[in-house]
């Protein structure tokens, strides 16, 4: 994905603060500013990851870890023991994006093609293709709905069958909209969200769009520094394992998949 340099400059200057022009946080409708909880991601374990995988989506599905990759898109079933996928379906000249599971089916976005792929069975077989308007970046499943990001400030909610739009919230940190919302993971009562070209991961309240937590995942980017040279090889990909609660993160073209622990910063 490519965006104007002006937006990248905005991210670099203000992604962590998102303050008003007067450098003061903007209060909400009740007159108060919600300060997000600060957390830091500590690496617990490292696992191999394919360096040709332009990671766009990461999710657990029926006890297995799946990944959606961009450029010449794929859907992959991963193993923690090897960088080579256990199973892979090539999508041809389609830039695949976010990936979500409702426990029975996998849902895979495409970037600009306006297509949503629904997969069922094991190994997954493409059940149907649904057309939609707009771009697809991140996707997760929450409370019976699919949640989509498109690189802007909004999260939109869709019915899984037919992908009809049923709602939307704007993501705000300290009262200010947050742009470049990318990969999503719905778990633990929040929506975890990567910000494109940032080492921060947001925790978003699905009901309001308010950022209730900010995770510093810069330890992961430092761990692969020098091993990746592509400027697009950025942090992207969050998956929480049902049952165990283990949290995994990776990045586009990274040689490592990380299991992390999130600790509150005092």
pLDDT in tens, 92-117: 999 999 999 999 999 999 999 999 99
Does 27 score more than 80 pLDDT?
no
Domain assignment present for 230: yes
Does 16 score more than 50 pLDDT?
no
Beta bridge partners of 59: 66
Domain assignment present for 27: no
Q: What value does the mean pLDDT take over residues 202-209?
A: 98
Angle at 198 between CA 53 and CA 167, to 5 degrees: 85
Domain assignment present for 213: yes
Q: Tell me what pLDDT residue 33 has.
A: 77
Distance CA 98, CA 130 (A): 15
213 pLDDT tier (thresholds 50, 70, 90): very high
Does 153 score more than 60 pLDDT?
yes
Helix (H) or strand (E) holding 67: strand 64-69
Look at the chain and count its residues: 266
**CA nearest neighbour of 245 among 201, 194, 189, 203:** 189
Q: How large a percentage of the chain has pLDDT more than 70? A: 88
| Domains in the chain, number | 1
Domain assignment present for 246: yes
Domain assignment present for 15: no
Cα→Cα distances 128→100, 131, 163, Å: 15, 10, 12
Q: What value does the mean pLDDT take over residues 217-233?
A: 97
Q: How large a percentage of the chain has pLDDT more than 90? A: 87
Averaged pLDDT of the chain? 90
Q: What value does the mean pLDDT take over residues 2-27?
A: 36
Distance CA 16, CA 143 (A): 29
Q: 209: alpha, beta or left, given left = phi > 0 and alpha = psi -120 to 50?
A: left
Does 44 score more than 60 pLDDT?
yes
Domain assignment present for 19: no
Token reading at 210: 């308010």
Token reading at 134: 């707009």
Q: Hey, how many other C-beta atoms are within 10 angstroms of the C-beta on 120?
A: 12
CB 216 within 8 A of CB 40: yes
Task: Report the CATH number that the domain containing residue 80 is assigned in CATH.
Answer: 2.120.10.30
Domain assignment present for 2: no
Does 1 score more than 50 pLDDT?
no
CB 47 within 8 A of CB 84: no
Does 60 score more than 90 pLDDT?
yes
Does 141 score more than 80 pLDDT?
yes
Owning domain of residue 197: 33-264
Token reading at 173: 């940190």
Domain assignment present for 239: yes
Distance CA 41, CA 57 (A): 19
Q: Tell me what pLDDT residue 32 has.
A: 66
Whether omega for the bond prior to residue 123 falls within 30 degrees of 0, making it cis, is yes
Does 77 score more than 50 pLDDT?
yes
Distance CA 197, CA 236 (A): 9
Does 43 score more than 80 pLDDT?
yes
- Tell me the DSSP string of 125-171: EEEEEEE-SS----EEEETTEEEEE-SSSEEEEE-TTT--EEEEEE-
Q: Tell me what pLDDT residue 26 has.
A: 44
């Amino acid at each position: 994905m490519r965006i104007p340099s002006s937006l990248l400059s905005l991210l670099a200057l203000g992604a962590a603060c998102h303050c008003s022009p007067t450098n003061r946080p903007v209060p909400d409708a009740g007159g108060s500013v919600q300060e997000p909880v600060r957390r830091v991601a500590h690496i617990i374990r490292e696992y191999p990851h394919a360096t040709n995988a332009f990671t766009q989506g990461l999710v657990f599905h029926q006890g297995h870890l799946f990944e959606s990759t961009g450029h010449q898109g794929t859907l992959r079933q991963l193993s923690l023991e090897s960088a080579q996928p256990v199973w892979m379906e090539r999508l041809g000249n389609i830039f695949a994006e976010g990936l979500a599971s409702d426990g029975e089916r996998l849902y895979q976005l495409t970037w600009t093609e306006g297509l949503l792929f629904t997969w069922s069975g094991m190994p997954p077989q493409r059940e149907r293709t649904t057309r939609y308007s707009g771009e697809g970046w991140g996707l997760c499943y929450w409370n019976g709905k699919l949640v989509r990001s498109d690189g802007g400030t909004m999260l939109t909610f869709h019915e899984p069958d037919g992908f009809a739009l049923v709602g939307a919230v704007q993501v705000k940190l300290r009262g200010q909209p947050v742009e470049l919302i990318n990969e999503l993971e719905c778990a633990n009562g929040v929506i975890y969200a990567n910000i494109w070209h940032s080492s921060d991961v947001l925790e978003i309240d699905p009901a309001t769009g308010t950022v209730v937590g900010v995770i510093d995942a810069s330890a992961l980017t430092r761990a692969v520094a020098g091993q990746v040279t592509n400027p697009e090889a950025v942090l992207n990909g969050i998956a929480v394992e049902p049952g165990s609660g283990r949290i995994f993160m990776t990045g586009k073209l990274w040689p490592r998949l990380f299991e992390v622990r999130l600790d509150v910063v005092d």
